[in-house]
Chain A
Amino acid sequence: MKYLYDLKIGEKCRVDKILIYDSLRRRLIDLGLTPDTLVECVGQSPLGDPKAFLIKGAVIALRYEVCKSIRVTEVLA
């Protein structure tokens, strides 16, 4: 099993499932994190967390706690 957090800078993946079930889930969906969406890791902050992801043309910063709960497939370099 791979999670969004495992993505290294420059790697891409497809979203499989969001394993978060509170109000945050809806915000992530609104930002475009729906199953099969292509996501690319584009950077990390100076201390390694949060990381930045390219989602539907926008760069969104997400914390470790969120990234580790988003299951992904098809990790591509």
Chain B
Amino acid sequence: MSDIITVALAGNPNVGKSTIFNALTGMKQHTGNWTGKTVDSALGYFKTETHRYRLVDLPGTYSLIPHSAEEKIARDYIYNEKPEAVIVVCDATCLERNLNLVLQTKKIARRVIVCVNLLDEAKKKGISVDLDLLAHRLGVRVVGVVARQNKTIKNLLFALDEAVENDELTTQSNDFLNYELQEELAISTVKTAEKIFNGVVTYKNKNYQNHDRKIDKILTSRAFGYPLMLLLLCIIFWITISGANYPSDLLFSAFSWVEIKLSEFLNLIHLPTVIHNALVFGIFRTVSFVVSVMLPPMAIFFPLFTLLEDLGYLPRVAYNLDKPFKKCNACGKQALTMCMGFGCNAVGVTGCRIIDSPRERLLAILTNTFVPCNGRFPTIIAIITMFLAVGGGVLSSVSATLILTLVIVFGILMTFLATKLLSATVLKGVPSNFILEMPPYRKPEFLKVIIRSVLDRTVYVLGRALITAVPAGLVIFIMSNVNISDKALLLHCADFLDPFAQLMGLDGVILLGFILGFPANEIVVPIIIMAYTGAGIISGDMNLQNVQELFVSNGWDITTAISMLIFSLCHWPCATTVLTIKKETASFKWTALAVFLPTALGIIICMLFNLLIKLLH
């Protein structure tokens, strides 16, 4: 077998490039349905009977004559790294526009293979593509693919083997490097694409898009556009909250059982009490709390959110919210990065690359932390369930859902407020532009999405729990057991913070929880629990009822809970996010502002809220 052959995968955004990448490499890179989902080039390997390949997934791009950072990555890669072949993935339902990129790639790549994807979708819509005619006109190999069908992927592999063995290298043109020529070149490419396209594709029904337009008419209508967004959010939250309750309890009792066994075992091998306590009450309890509280909501929320994403709804959210963002002198695509923030703010910050204007990108980066990420979302649900939900049974989950929706809407309003604030002060400027492709609605593969994202989330949450909760649990245990003048170190710190925290409606322990939770927001509540229980030993089983009783006995009331919710939404981003912001902005100043702004807003809002409550009493 010969040396490894490098092949690049190019294509417009939204043509199912990532699906092809996964089908070829067997990797499970997450696929999404919005522009520029792949912000970094992914790397994968595969082999055929005759060759071994290295596959580079380039960011989605409309053109190789660069307009944005992503396009530059794709152009530079093909031009400088000279991969043996470039597979250009095209969407069969939108072929003409895609041919533009094919023609441009042909000019600079050594070999081009056109992969016409989504043939099944096209067939459903009565669109048929004459692949032979297309190959003849383009003068390159063309393969029709349905990513879910292995047979068609095999055809692609076959074409690739043939191409690297036989095809002549096309001459590289320098045209794209010459700025003057660019517009003429772009227009003539578009015209050529039109000529090639004519006759290649036939439509059984010219109005094949009517179905999508009808859905759009409702989802983006004046009357229902915003209410439906809220309703969808509510439904997802409700399923998450009511679905997470039972597995959460189950996990808590499972962990309690394991804890007893673990404790017995450690006693059996005569471990010193202090090590026993550190392992059981420090590390094990922190891990069990983090997993029990975090895992169920995440394992339910994410598949649902992914389904919404795969359906093609998120670009409509950006479309609906563009006007409000424009009012804040920002870009509607910020709605997309906001949505990514639900998963992880660091991912959201990286995702801001989809915004072309540097000023608007900064606005999106600096305000991303106002949507609660993975680490904060379940904490917020837990606080709501413990202190704010009213009634029992269904009523309790409904009220919790409404409050959670309110919290998220508050976070979104804070995003707008902070964006407006920034664009009126340090990031002045006029809104640049907003060009967003709204892809066709696609039926997601329900079962596959659910199974994959449940597994992904489980692995992710458990991984986070291990790398953050284990060391954090140990550190907090040590801090709450090392005494300085008869008081634990943890309590000294808490006492120091207390006067200030009281002004915000919190107490020193809670604020200390947030500060020590800087590496990962998941551990804020476990820190608070351990600090309240002194030596870190909670009486009875670890579950939400006991935690609530513990909090109440330490002076918590509804005001404390609300202040905690506000501060959860508005405080410094976690360590990973801060590092990502530093990397993305390459500026200490902007990173500092990204920490300062949400913190300052959080402190101010908490203080005002508590002042208001005191005045009302």
Please say whether chains A and B are actual partners in one complex.
yes
Q: A residues touching B (Cβ–Cβ < 8 Å)?
A: 23-32, 34-35, 42-50, 52, 54-63, 65-66
Contact of B323 among A26, A49, A54 (CB under 8 A): A49
Contact of A42 among B191, B216, B225 (CB under 8 A): B216
Contact of A25 among B183, B322, B437, B440 (CB under 8 A): B183
A54, B209: Cβ atoms closer than 8 Å: yes
Q: Report B197-220 CB contacts with A as 1/0, cut-off 8 Å.
A: 000000000000100110011001
Report chain B residues within 8 Å CB of A61: 319, 322, 332, 434-438
A15 to chain B, nearest CB (A): 11
Report chain A residues within 8 Å CB of B221: 46
The verdict on A57 contacting B433 (CB below 8 Å), with A27-B62, A29-B190, A46-B220 known, is no
| Alpha-carbon gap, A42 to B440, bound state (A) | 13
B437, A60: Cβ atoms closer than 8 Å: yes
B435, A42: Cβ atoms closer than 8 Å: no
Q: Report B52-67 CB contacts with A as 1/0, cut-off 8 Å.
A: 0000000000110101
The verdict on A32 contacting B96 (CB below 8 Å), with A50-B319, A63-B326 known, is yes
Q: Which residue of B lies closest to A31 (CB)?
A: B62
B93 within 8 A of A: yes
B435, A60: Cβ atoms closer than 8 Å: yes
| Alpha-carbon gap, A62 to B434, bound state (A) | 6
Report chain B residues within 8 Å CB of A44: 220
A58, B220: Cβ atoms closer than 8 Å: no
Supply 11 further A-B pairs (C-beta < 8 A) apart from A42-B209, A49-B322.
Answer: A23-B67, A25-B183, A32-B190, A43-B213, A45-B320, A50-B323, A57-B97, A59-B437, A60-B435, A63-B433, A63-B434
Q: Which residue of B lies closest to A57 (CB)?
A: B94
| Alpha-carbon gap, A62 to B435, bound state (A) | 5
Number of inter-chain CB pairs below 8 Å: 122
The verdict on A30 contacting B62 (CB below 8 Å), with A54-B209, A60-B435 known, is yes
**20 A-B residue pairings within 8 Å (CB atoms):** A26-B183, A27-B62, A30-B67, A30-B100, A30-B190, A31-B62, A32-B96, A44-B220, A45-B323, A46-B323, A47-B323, A48-B222, A49-B322, A49-B326, A52-B319, A54-B209, A58-B97, A59-B216, A59-B437, A62-B435
Report chain A residues within 8 Å CB of B212: 59
Report chain B residues within 8 Å CB of A30: 62-63, 65, 67, 100, 186, 190
| Alpha-carbon gap, A29 to B190, bound state (A) | 8
B24 to chain A, nearest CB (A): 25
| Alpha-carbon gap, A34 to B97, bound state (A) | 12
B95 within 8 A of A: yes
The verdict on A58 contacting B94 (CB below 8 Å), with A31-B62, A45-B225, A50-B322 known, is yes
B182 within 8 A of A: yes
| Alpha-carbon gap, A46 to B321, bound state (A) | 9
Contact of B438 among A35, A46, A48, A60 (CB under 8 A): A60
Report chain A residues within 8 Å CB of B460: none
B226 within 8 A of A: yes
Q: Which residue of A lies closest to B316 (CB)?
A: A45
Report chain B residues within 8 Å CB of A59: 209, 212, 216, 437-440
A58, B434: Cβ atoms closer than 8 Å: no
| Alpha-carbon gap, A45 to B213, bound state (A) | 13
B51 to chain A, nearest CB (A): 33
A45 to chain B, nearest CB (A): 5
B315 to chain A, nearest CB (A): 8
| Alpha-carbon gap, A29 to B438, bound state (A) | 18
Report chain B residues within 8 Å CB of A58: 94, 97, 437
Q: B residues touching A (Cβ–Cβ < 8 Å)?
A: 62-63, 65, 67-68, 93-97, 100, 182-183, 186-187, 190-191, 209, 212-213, 216-217, 220-222, 225-226, 319-320, 322-324, 326, 332, 431-440
Report chain A residues within 8 Å CB of B68: 27
Report chain A residues within 8 Å CB of B322: 45, 49-50, 61, 63
Report chain A residues within 8 Å CB of B191: 34
B433, A66: Cβ atoms closer than 8 Å: yes
A11 to chain B, nearest CB (A): 14
Report chain A residues within 8 Å CB of B433: 24, 63, 65-66
Report chain B residues within 8 Å CB of A52: 216, 220, 319, 438
Report chain A residues within 8 Å CB of B63: 26-27, 30
B222, A46: Cβ atoms closer than 8 Å: yes
Report chain A residues within 8 Å CB of B320: 45-46
B127 to chain A, nearest CB (A): 9
Q: Which residue of B lies closest to A62 (CB)?
A: B435
Contact of B186 among A29, A43, A50, A62 (CB under 8 A): A29
| Alpha-carbon gap, A26 to B67, bound state (A) | 7
B320 to chain A, nearest CB (A): 5
Report chain A residues within 8 Å CB of B440: 59
| Alpha-carbon gap, A21 to B95, bound state (A) | 27
The verdict on A57 contacting B323 (CB below 8 Å), with A30-B63, A46-B226 known, is no
| Alpha-carbon gap, A34 to B191, bound state (A) | 8
Report chain B residues within 8 Å CB of A45: 220, 225, 319-320, 322-323
B210 to chain A, nearest CB (A): 10
Contact of A34 among B93, B187, B431 (CB under 8 A): B187
The verdict on A57 contacting B213 (CB below 8 Å), with A34-B187, A50-B332 known, is no
| Alpha-carbon gap, A55 to B94, bound state (A) | 10
Report chain A residues within 8 Å CB of B326: 49, 63
B336 to chain A, nearest CB (A): 12
| Alpha-carbon gap, A48 to B358, bound state (A) | 26
Contact of A56 among B96, B183, B187, B438 (CB under 8 A): B96
B212 to chain A, nearest CB (A): 8
Indicate the member of A47, A56, A57, A62 with the most B CB atoms within 10 Å: A57
A57, B95: Cβ atoms closer than 8 Å: yes
Report chain B residues within 8 Å CB of A27: 62-63, 67-68, 435
Contact of B435 among A34, A35, A47, A66 (CB under 8 A): A66
B515 to chain A, nearest CB (A): 41
A34, B190: Cβ atoms closer than 8 Å: yes
A51 to chain B, nearest CB (A): 10
